[in-house]
Amino acid sequence: MRVLVAGGAGYIGSHTVLSLVADGHEVVIADDFSNAKPTVLPRLEELAGTTLTSHRIDLTDRVATDRLFATERLDAVIHFAGLKAVGESAEKPLAYYDTNLSSTFSLLAAMRAHDVRRFVFSSSATVYGDSAPVPYHEDYRPLDASSPYGSTKVMIERVLSDVAHAEGFRVALLRYFNPVGAHESGTIGEDPQGIPNNLMPFIAQVAVGRRERLTVFGADYPTLDGTCRRDYIHVADLADGHVAALDHLDQMSAPVRAFNLGSGEPSSVLEMIAAFERASGRQIPYDVGPRRAGDLAEFWGDPARAATELGWRTSRSIDDMCADTWRWQSANPHGYPDA
């Protein structure tokens, strides 16, 4: 297929571009580079072994989005383009609702106008809300989210579900757990701007000497070692999950289907620190601080549906996630160059 990867220069999008090419698909990257650097593109071409078509475009612009579909022949869309920082979303809710929903509406309108009806959506385990039992299962209701960021995911899932049923779209809703790691080459990876919000990039920046110490947000949770447990997933496994979902769209049992993309195995913050120390050979100094508002003690996903229906499961371990993150971070201590 010829696939539009909306947000294809970002962390998960860029890894998915490589999985798509490896699976024989052709890709068209669309990105506004608001949270990605164009210098990722030549690296992607090098790894893919081919030239890649890319467009600098703001997908909230309906006219520009329609023009893109008028110039590129497309068979499917994978939609990663959106704002994703939970804390920031509480400070700027309107920006989150506007950007995340508007880009989805433009894509859907352009897809309908140009008869492209395959859609894979970058959703999140955050849609299970604060009170779902673990492991999270796709059929759990009601979906809910405590942050504006998470609410955009719940709302977009709903929009896509209605559109799929009414207008003949085929939609896979991919609910990610905690994506970490980097391509095994160490040439592409996660490059957060400013102070990292998430655990793994923070640990990596401490290891490489960009930050002094990590703060562990709470060690008094009702877990074995007192720290929160999460279902970490290697970004290369996650990327392969998108290709499996795309390849399965036409055979899905219903027009819209949600899939958990996780390993099904949670790890604690202290376990992640220990694994990173093993992988990097560096010590990660840390202090235990207070809990972070909104954090749940532990959650992980039931990965059975993706295994049965998509034939996909994770294959990379926590040690692989840490080794690959370290290879990326140590070779690119300041992330991608500006030019």
Instruction: Confirm or reject binding of residue 126 to ligand UD1 (CB under 6 A).
Output: yes
Cβ at position 283, least distance to ligand UD1 in Å:
16
For ligand UD1, the binding residue among 15, 79, 118, 230 (CB under 6 A) is 230
For ligand UD1, the binding residue among 8, 82, 129, 150 (CB under 6 A) is 150
> Mapping DSSP to helix (H, G, I), strand (E, B) and coil, where does residue 18 land?
helix
Cβ at position 150, least distance to ligand UD1 in Å:
6
Element (H, E) at 78: strand 76-79
Amino acid occupying residue 72: E
Of 118, 116, 21, 119, residue with least CA distance to 70: 116
Of 227, 313, 312, residue with least CA distance to 263: 313
Among 6-14, 69-77, 214-222, 317-325, the segment contacting ligand UD1 (CB under 6 A): 214-222
As a whole number of angstroms, the distance between CA 34 and CA 121 comes to: 20
Facing residues of 298 across strands? 229
Tokens of 25: 């698909």
Instruction: Confirm or reject binding of residue 143 to ligand UD1 (CB under 6 A).
Output: no
Cα separations (Å) of 81 from 16, 102, 181? 13, 11, 20
Element (H, E) at 288: strand 286-289
Catalytic residue list contains 136: no
Among 131-139, 210-218, 244-252, 319-327, the segment contacting ligand UD1 (CB under 6 A): 210-218
Cβ at position 221, least distance to ligand UD1 in Å:
8
Instruction: Confirm or reject binding of residue 197 to ligand UD1 (CB under 6 A).
Output: yes
For ligand UD1, the binding residue among 124, 161, 263, 325 (CB under 6 A) is 124
As a whole number of angstroms, the distance between CA 134 and CA 296 comes to: 11
- What single DSSP character describes residue 127? G
Among 97-105, 136-144, 245-253, 290-298, the segment contacting ligand UD1 (CB under 6 A): 290-298
For the chain, how big is the Rg over CA atoms in Å?
A: 19
Among 22-30, 95-103, 133-141, 291-299, the segment contacting ligand UD1 (CB under 6 A): 291-299
Residue closer to ligand UD1 (CB basis): 62 or 282: 282
Contact between 8 and 17 (Cβ < 8 Å)? yes
Residue closer to ligand UD1 (CB basis): 285 or 294: 294
Distance of CA 75 to the CA centre of its chain: 22
Catalytic residue among 11, 128, 149, 336: 149
For ligand UD1, the binding residue among 215, 283, 308, 315 (CB under 6 A) is 215
- Residue numbers at the binding site for ligand UD1 (CB under 6 A): 86, 124, 126, 150, 178-179, 197-199, 202, 214-217, 228, 230, 269, 292, 294-295
User: Which residues are tagged catalytic?
Assistant: 149
